[in-house]
Amino acid sequence: MLKISRKLVNIMNYLAALSIIAMMLLTCADVVLRLFKHPILGAYELVGLFGALTIAFAIPATTLSKGHVAVDFMVEKLPHSAQKIFSIIANLMSLSLFALIAWQSFLYAETLRSTGEVTLSLQMPFYPIVYAISAASLLVCIVLFGELTISQEEGLET
């Protein structure tokens, strides 16, 4: 399961990178075309949607690499066993939060799909983006569950 989740994390991280490239190219093209009085219709909308995808798709990789900002100068002074307990509690809280985000994003995407909500200029549906956010949050849950499983196995060995 960990192997598959790592592959999915790498795919999402690659998609986040492609999304950043798309935002950059779109913004540059829009700026250049504005000089000739031909701006790209919906560029602002697309950049916003790509931004949402970039953040959502980058979170699983950041979670896997433990790249989130952590203020642990107090925890570092505790014994190793207490540090493990704090780590498990933090992972459980994060798992709960991202499970809630995945669930609520899925429900919101369903609502957007059923109501036909679209962007203002391009009339693009919002729901695929929200489904992607839900999927990325679910992948974060899988990564966090894997970390919890590994930390439990390490705890049994010591």
Per-residue pLDDT of 114-155, as tens digits, reads 999 999 999 999 999 999 999 999 999 999 999 888 866 666
- Cβ atoms of 38 and 11 closer than 8 Å: no
SS3 68: coil
pLDDT per residue over 100-109, tens digit each? 999 999 999 9
Q: Is the pLDDT at 5 greater than 70, yes or no?
A: yes
pLDDT digits (tens, 9 = 90+) for 22-52: 999 999 999 999 999 999 999 999 999 999 9
* Rounded distance between C-alpha atoms, residue 8 and residue 139, angstroms: 8
To the nearest 10°, the Cα dihedral for 14, 19, 21, 25?
160
**Confidence at residue 2, expressed as pLDDT on a 0 to 100 scale:** 79
> Percent of the chain having pLDDT more than 70?
95
Residue the block writes with tokens 């391009």: 122
Provide the domain count of the chain. Answer: 1
How far apart are the C-alpha atoms of 122 and 130, rounded to whole Å? 17
- Residue 118 belongs to what domain range? 2-157
